[in-house]
């Protein structure tokens, strides 16, 4: 039966933090994620290890791109079977706050490339080195889930990608008549358990 309570509206808070690899394959999300009495946004803001990227534009887009190949046989005009031969997952958003920290994330650089001095802060544009692996981060986005039963309040939905990398072209504009924003697309990679992460709905919040 159709129900309007399953229609979700609203933006998400986006956080970047430790990846699956840097935590030796354990879930790097704060332990209080399962506490039904505490909003995950509150938990994330107090974690100290995850950074809120601030305002975003046009929401976040989570895209899966499976590749299926065909097995063709002589006796049929169509394929007799298809099989999955590849998979990719991307998470895209636009940082509306053009800070050096967000530029560092979009360029996929380490925090060591951003330095503070007496009268200025400087982000080095790092070219990397031959054979260097791209920097991995974890990504968590917290938004609305379907409405809780018996209320008109949304639940809380968490998207957690264990390993994301900013490896695509990034451009931003300094223009007279528009804000400077930083579009970024993260390529997600699976952890050693074969999973990219999870999507979790919590419906027990007060």
Mean pLDDT of 71-89: 95
pLDDT at 67: 97
Residue 162 CA to residue 89 CA, distance in Å, equals 12
Written as one string, the DSSP assignment of 93-140 is EEESS--HHHHHHHTT--GGGEEE-SS-EEE------TTPPPPPEEEE
Q: What are the distances in angstroms from CA 118 to CA 102, 115, 122, 169, 171?
A: 21, 10, 11, 32, 29
Residue 13 CA to residue 139 CA, distance in Å, equals 11
pLDDT in tens, 81-118: 999 999 999 999 999 999 999 999 999 999 999 999 99
Residue 126 CA to residue 123 CA, distance in Å, equals 9
pLDDT in tens, 165-186: 998 899 999 999 999 999 999 9
Does the pLDDT at position 74 exceed 90? Answer: yes
Q: Are 158 and 206 in contact (CB under 8 A)?
A: no
Strands 51-52 and 154-165: unpaired
Give the residue from 106, 102, 100, 162 showing the smallest Cα distance to 137.
Answer: 162
Mean pLDDT of 52-68: 95
Residue 83 CA to residue 20 CA, distance in Å, equals 29
pLDDT at 79: 95
Dihedral angle sign, alpha carbons of residues 144, 44, 125, 121: positive
Written as one string, the DSSP assignment of 128-185 is --TTPPPPPEEEEEEEEEEEPTTSS-EEEEEEEEEEEE--S-------SSS---EEEE
């Amino acid at each position: 039966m159709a129900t309007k309570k399953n229609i979700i509206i609203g933006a998400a808070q986006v956080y970047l933090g430790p990846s699956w690899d840097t935590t030796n394959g354990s879930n790097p999300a704060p332990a209080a994620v399962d506490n039904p009495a505490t909003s995950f946004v509150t938990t994330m803001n107090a974690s100290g290890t995850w950074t809120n990227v601030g305002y975003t534009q046009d929401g976040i887009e989570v895209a899966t791109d499976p590749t299926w190949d065909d097995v063709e046989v002589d006796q049929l005009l169509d394929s007799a079977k298809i099989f999955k031969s590849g998979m990719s997952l991307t998470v895209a958003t636009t940082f509306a706050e053009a800070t050096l920290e967000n530029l560092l994330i979009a360029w996929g650089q380490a925090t060591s490339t951003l330095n503070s001095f007496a009268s200025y802060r400087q982000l080095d544009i790092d070219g990397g080195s031959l054979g260097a692996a791209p920097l991995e981060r974890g990504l968590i986005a917290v938004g609305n889930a379907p409405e809780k039963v018996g209320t008109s309040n949304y639940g809380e939905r968490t998207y957690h990608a264990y390993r994301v990398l900013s490896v695509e072209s990034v451009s931003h504009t300094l223009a007279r008549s528009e804000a400077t924003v930083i579009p970024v697309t993260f390529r997600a990679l699976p952890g050693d358990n074969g999973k990219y992460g999870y999507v979790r709905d919590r419906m027990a919040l007060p």
